Amino acid sequence: MKKILQDLSFGELETLVLSYGEKKFRAKQLFEGLMQGKRLSEIPVSSALRRALLEEYEDEPVKIKETFVSKEDGTKKFLFELADGNLIEGVFMRYKYGNTQCVSTQVGCRMGCKFCASTLGGLVRNLTAGEILGQILAVNRSEGGTLKDRAVTNAVLMGSGEPFDNYENVVKFLKNVSAEGGICMSPRNISLSTCGIVPAMKRFADEGLPVNLTISLHASSDGERARVMPVAKAYSIAEIMDACAYYFQKTGRRYIFEYTLIAGENCDREHAEALAMLVKGQPCHVNLIRLNEVKERSLAAADEKAAYRFLGVLEKSGVSATLRRSLGSDIGGACGQLRASYLENKQEDNKDEN
Ligand code: SAH
């Protein structure tokens, strides 16, 4: 695979341009063009420079292959193709305060959470910083956004993959996406969700990036958590809480716990009370979401009544919490489903041809 131009920071691009004997200002032109989601052929640089770059570098790391639009709420799901043919997906949601894009950090995932579709085929590979950024650049452009007037204003690292299992590339992405002269998205408008890889949480706290940290909890005891999240065998809830406290101490930022409500697993009154006990008094918020059912898994969503009861218990205990509504449910359920069903259809097509 060729190297990826969008992996480069502005400074790295400058060094590269100078190494080709070109003037420094070409780097600015190039950077601005790339951050607008343009290909080299659309950026006014000399044909010699374009040719030299294309010999070594890929200029379109993420292509929109298909778009699915929800009739219910306008949410869009994108199927992206990477330069090596791998597929990832992303979701674009419109809210009153801005437009949020859900971004993938890996092709597949190796965390093995029992409720998640992204992990069904295991980890295929990490995405590079430019492939993570490329998802945002492609959607910003296709939605009519520019660098000044962005269509994508917020991002959540909640697509396929575990961001902290691809730490270096994710941090580089965060630096490049917020860099001046580029798409310049504030880290404050970005949320990173982790299944709770404790050493990486601590390292991230030291990174000095004001990103919103979200931790997927889904249970209040290690035993229950390990039933749905294998990573719970590596890091205990106590260690996660420690890392959260460290994060707050270093950054002064509140953090968020994600809690997916799964019927018969984690959504009884006792579970809500245990969660309230666990997080009460912490500088945190709890995001509840009813499970998006994944057809390969036997787990079912908690019903709405149970979800509101759960929320009520948290609120009564003084825990800040919301029950998130699910967007785009008519265009293919849970995270990871789009890629999985696309690959499945492809296999069916191939069968027909044989
Ligand atoms: N690896 C990261 C990002 C995963 S996706 C993490 O574990 O946090 C973002 C959120 O969606 C996580 O909280 C994840 O647990 C949740 N999620 C995954 N599959 C889901 C499903 N089928 N229904 C509801 N939430 C789900």
Q: Put residue 258 in one of left, alpha, beta given phi > 0 → left and psi -120 to 50 → alpha.
A: beta
- Three-class DSSP labels, the chain: CCEEHHHCCHHHHHHHHHHCCCCCHHHHHHHHHHHCCCCHHHCCCCHHHHHHHHHHEECCCEEEEEEEECCCCCCEEEEEEECCCCEEEEEEEEECCEEEEECCCEEECCCCCCCCCCCCCCEEEECCHHHHHHHHHHHHHHCCCCCCCCCCCEEEECCCCCHHHCHHHHHHHHHHHCCCCCCCCCHHHEEEEECCCHHHHHHHHCCCCCCEEEEECCCCCHHHHHHHCHHHHCCCHHHHHHHHHHHHHHHCCCEEEEEEEECCCCCCHHHHHHHHHHHCCCCEEEEEEECCCCCCCCCCECCHHHHHHHHHHHHHCCCCEEECCCCCHHHCCCCCHHHHHHHHHHHHHHHHHC
Taking 80 as the threshold, does the pLDDT of residue 266 lie above it?
yes
Active-site residue, from 14, 58, 89, 265: 89
- Confidence class of residue 219 from pLDDT cuts 50, 70 and 90? very high
For the cut 90, the answer to whether the pLDDT of residue 113 exceeds it is yes
Is the model's pLDDT at 43 over the cut of 80? yes
pLDDT bracket for residue 354 (50, 70, 90): very low
Residue 349 vs residue 215, higher pLDDT: 215
> What is the CA(25)–ligand 1 centre distance, in A?
43
Q: Output the CA torsion sign for 81, 82, 87, 90.
A: negative
pLDDT at 320: 98
pLDDT at 198: 98
Question: Could you tell me the pTM of the whole model?
Answer: 0.95
The mean per-residue pLDDT over the stretch 143-166 comes to 96
Q: Please report which confidence band the pLDDT of residue 315 belongs to, taking 50, 70 and 90 as the band edges.
A: very high
Q: What is the pLDDT of residue 352?
A: 47
- Closest Cα to atom 7, ligand 1: which residue? 195
- Six-digit token pair at 319? 């825990």
Nearest C-alpha neighbor of 300 from the set 266, 276, 351:
266
Q: What pLDDT sits at residue 81?
A: 97
For residue 169, pLDDT beyond 80: yes
Ligand 1 pocket list (CB less than 6 A): 115-116, 158, 162, 193-195, 216, 258, 260, 289, 291-292, 294, 334-335
Which percentage of the chain shows pLDDT scores above 90? 83
b or e along 101-118 (b: 16 or more beta carbons within 10 Å of the residue's beta carbon)? bbbbbbbbbebebbbbbb
What are residue 214's phi and psi, to 5 degrees? -120, 135
Asked if 89 is an active-site residue, the reply is yes
**Among 80-94, 105-119, 283-297, 335-349, the least confident range:** 335-349
Task: Give the phi and the psi of residue 287 in degrees, each rounded to 5.
Answer: -100, 115
Q: Binning pLDDT at 50, 70 and 90, where does residue 107 land?
A: very high
The share of the chain scoring above pLDDT 70, in percent, equals 92
**What is the per-residue pLDDT for 349?**
56
pLDDT at 324: 87
Answer whether residue 353 shows pLDDT above 50. no
Using the predicted structure, report yes or no on whether residue 149 has a pLDDT greater than 80.
yes
Atom index in ligand 1 nearest the CA of residue 301 equals: 23
- CB-CB neighbours of 188 under 10 Å: 13
- Average the pLDDT over 165-181 and give the result: 97
Residue 275: per-residue pLDDT:
98
Q: What is the residue-averaged pLDDT of the chain?
A: 92
Mean pLDDT for the stretch of residues 92-106: 92
User: At residue 296, does pLDDT exceed 50?
Assistant: yes
pLDDT at 326 over 80: no
Distance of CA 232 from the midpoint of ligand 1 (Å): 15
